[in-house]
Structure 1
Amino acid sequence: MPDPRILIATGSFDATADFVVEELNRRGIPLARIDTGAFPDSVDLSATFGQDGWRGRLSEGARTVRLEDLRAVLWRRPSNFPADSVEAGPSREFASREARSGMMGVLYSLPDVAWVNHPLAIMACTKPAQLAAFATAGLLVPATWIGNVPQDHGSFCVEESAVSKTLGPIAYDGPEGYQVLYVSRIPPEHQGHPRARATANFLQHEIRDKVVEYRVAVVADRLFISEAHSSVPYLDIRAAGRDAVTYTPATLPEAVQTGIRTVTRGFGLVFAAWDLVQDVAGRVWALEMNPNGQWAFTPDRDDICRAIADCLEEAATT
C-alpha cells in the first residue's frame, strides 16, 4: 500500500473523526491518525530542512506519515501539548511551549497541503469576529455586549432579557470536576454585579418566541441543513439532552444560505458548523459558527462524512 498522504490530527477518542477514517479506509485511501498534540510524550517528530523544503517523519507508534508526502490534514481535536513526561513546573511549561512551536511551525510550513481546517483559520474565528462577519454578510445578529463594566452590564440586561454565553469552549475542568457552561439567563441579582469586572462577559439579548433551531454543516460550498426540535423546554438546546432532541432535514432562505457561504469562505474555512434560530415572525438569526463543530448526530451525517472525505481524497490524489 502507498505511504499515507493524509493526516488525521486528533485525540484518541473522537467519534466524529472515526467516521471520516472509516470512509477513507473503505475507499482504500492511506492515512495516518496521529495525536499531534501528544508530542513529545508519545509522538515522534524528525524533520530536516534543506533547499527542497522539509523532509522527515511524524509518527505515533506504528502510524507514520512522511512530511514530504503530506497533502491533506483533517484538523480535529488533538491534545494540547501537555508534556507530561517532563517534571511539573517551569520545565514542563517550557517543554510544552517549545513542543507546540516545533510541531506547528513545521506543519504550517509544509507546501501544497489542504487543511480542513487550518488551525490559524480556526483561531481567527473568534465570536466577536464572527458577529461582525455575520452582519456584513446580511445575516441578522442579536444585540450583543462584551465587557467588564458592571454598570453597563446591568444597563444591557435592563434593556431586554439577556443571556450569558462563553466566548470560548463551554466545557472546562473546575474545582468540582468536568463542568459545562450552557447559555443561561441573567437573574436580576446578577445584573450589574461587581464581579462582572472579573473577566470579559459575553451577553446577548435573548431571541424570544423561537420556533426552529437550525444546525448547518458547511463543507466547501455544500450546505447540509437540519432543524432541531426538543420534546422538553430549554434555553440552550444542548442542555435538553440528545434523547429529547430530534433532527430532520430542512432548508433555509437563499439569502441566508448565501450569507453562510460568504462568511465561511471569508474565514478561510473548508468546514464549519452553524447554529441559527427562527423566531415566530419568520426571521432567521445567526448565533454561532463553530469551525470545528460536531455533525455526527445530524441526519446528513453520512453525506457530510463523504463530503469531507472527498476534500481530503482530492488533495491526496492530485
Structure 2
Amino acid sequence: MAAPAPVLVLAGRFDPTADLAVEELNRRKVPVFRADTADFPQALTLSARFEDGRWTGTLASRRRSLQLETVRSVYYRRPARPRLPADMDPEARKVAEREARRGVGGLLMALPCRWLPPPGAAADAEHKPRQLRLAAEAGLHVPRTLITNDPAEAETFAVSLGGQVICKPFLPVRGMLAGRGASVYADVISAQDVASPDLATTAHLLQEFVPKTHDVRLTAVDGRLLAAEIHTTAGANRVDWRRDYTDHVYKTCVPPPDVARGVQRMLDALGLTYGAFDFAVTADRWAFLEVNAHGQYGFLEQATGLPITAAICDYLEGVAR
C-alpha cells in the first residue's frame, strides 16, 4: 500500500495558526513537512530536476526530507524571507536573496497541487482599493471611502459625512515605540484632524463611520462560511476590536443570504479559497470592511468551537465535502 501523500506547510517557526493545522493533520495521520523559507539556504536544501514534463526532487532540512513530486497540497502561512550568511557582501546578498525567492518559491509554485492560499493571489488580495471595488461588484455594501494626501479634500469628505471619519492603514502597522510594541489601528478622527498638513506626507485611507451594533469575523474555507459575532463595550474598541481582546463576547451566527453570495463571488474574483472577512453590522445590514487571505482564526475557534481548522485540513487533505 502506497504511503499517503504529504502536506507541505510553509510557515514561520512560531506560528500558532500553523500549529493548529499541523496538529490536526497529525491527528488524521496525514504526513506533514513543515518548513520556513527563512532556513534557505543555510538549513534547508533544495534539489529538483525537470524531466519528462514534470519536476521531481527533494526539499530537505537537517532532520527530514520531502519528495516534491509527492506533495498533495501546500498551506502557505507567510514564511519568512531567506536568511543569508551575515558576512555576505550587501550587493551579493540582494542578488542571492532574489534568486532564492525566485528559485525556491517559483519551483514550489510549479508543483501540480492545491495551495491555501496561492501566494500570488494572496499578495494581490492585500490591496484594499481593489478589495473595496470587488466587494461592491460582488453585491456587498461598502462604506464611502476616500484615498488622498490632500488635506482640503480630506476635510471636505469628513464634513460631508458629519464631521468625522475612520482613518485606517492600508496594511498592518506594527513596530517598537519607546521600547514597547506598538500597532496602528483604525480610529475615528475629525474634519479638523484630517485638515492637518501632516496628511500630505503620504496616502491616507478615510472611510465613512458605520454606527455598528457589533462586528462579525467571517472565515470562508472552500465554500464553507464560519461566522462569529464580536461584541465589545470598550469605547475605542468599538472602532477596531483588535485593540484589546480582553472584553470580547463571541457568538456564532449565520450570514444573510446576500452576504454569503457576495463573499463567495468576491473570493472567486480574488482567486482565493480562504479568506477572513470583517464586517461592521448595523441594525439593518452588514458593511464590508476588509478581507485577509492569511487571517488568524485560533481565537475564534477556541471561543466558539467553529470548526475552522477542520475545514482547512479537509481542503489540504482533499476530503470531499
Same fold (TM over 0.5): yes
SS in 2 for 1:196: helix
How far the C-alpha of 1:94 sits from its partner, in A, is 2.1
Gap change, CA 1:310 and 1:52, over 3 Å in 2: same
Alignment of 1:65-84 (within 5 A): 65-84=66-85
Change (3 A) 1:141 1:84: farther
2:165 aligns with 162
| Residue of structure 1 equivalent to 2:298 | 296
Which residue is 2:118 aligned to? Answer: 118
Do the aligned partners of 1:4 and 1:32 also contact (CA within 8 Å) in 2? no
Note if contact 2:158-2:190 (Cα within 8 Å) is conserved in structure 1.
no
The 8 Å contact of residues 226 and 306 in structure 2, kept in 1 or not, is answered as no
Q: Is the 8 A contact 1:275 1:288 kept in 2?
A: yes
More displaced stretch, 260-269 vs 56-65: 56-65
Paired AA for residue 252 in structure 2: P
1:171 paired with 2:171, answer no
Q: TM-score with structure 2 length normalisation?
A: 0.90
1:270-291 deviations in Å (ceiling 9; x for gaps)? 11111001113x1210111111
Q: Which residue of 2 aligns with 1:28?
A: 29
Aligned mates of 1:82, 1:65 — CA distance in 2:
20
Residues 16/88 of structure 1: CA separation in 2 closer, same or farther (3 Å cut)? farther
Q: 85-94 or 11-20: which moved more? A: 85-94
Give the Cα separation in 1 of the matches to 2:176 and 2:87: 22
Give the match for residue 43 of structure 2: 42
Over the matched positions of the two proteins, sequence identity in percent amounts to 33
Give the total of aligned pairs.
312
1:143 aligned partner? 144
| CA distance 1:217–1:51, shift in 2 (3 Å) | same
Structure 2 CA distance for aligned equivalents of residues 67 and 197 of structure 1: 49
**Rounded Cα–Cα distance in structure 2 between residues aligned with 1:84 and 1:216:** 42
For the residues of structure 2 that align with 1:117 and 1:6, how far apart are their CA atoms? 13
Is contact 1:4–1:65 with CA below 8 Å preserved after alignment? Answer: no
Q: Structure 2: give runs of 5+ residues left out of the alignment.
A: none
Unaligned runs of 5+ in 1: none
- Following superposition, the deviation at residue 314 of structure 1 comes to 1.3
Distance 1:20 1:188, change over 3 A: same
CA distance in 2, matches of 1:272, 1:184: 24
Q: CA deviation at 1:196?
A: 2.3
Instruction: Call closer, same or farther: CA 1:243–1:152 in 2, change over 3 Å.
Output: same
Q: Which amino acid aligns with 2:29?
A: G
Query: How much does 1:41 deviate?
Result: 3.4
Q: Choose 172-181 or 48-57, whichever is displaced more.
A: 172-181
Pairs within 5 Å for 1:211-222: 211-222=213-224
Distance 1:223 1:186 in 2: 33
Aligned-residue offset at 1:143:
0.7
> Does the alignment pair 1:238 with 2:242?
yes
RMSD: 2.2
The one-character-per-residue Cα deviations of 1:151-170 (angstroms, maximum 9, x if unpaired) are 22222222222111111223
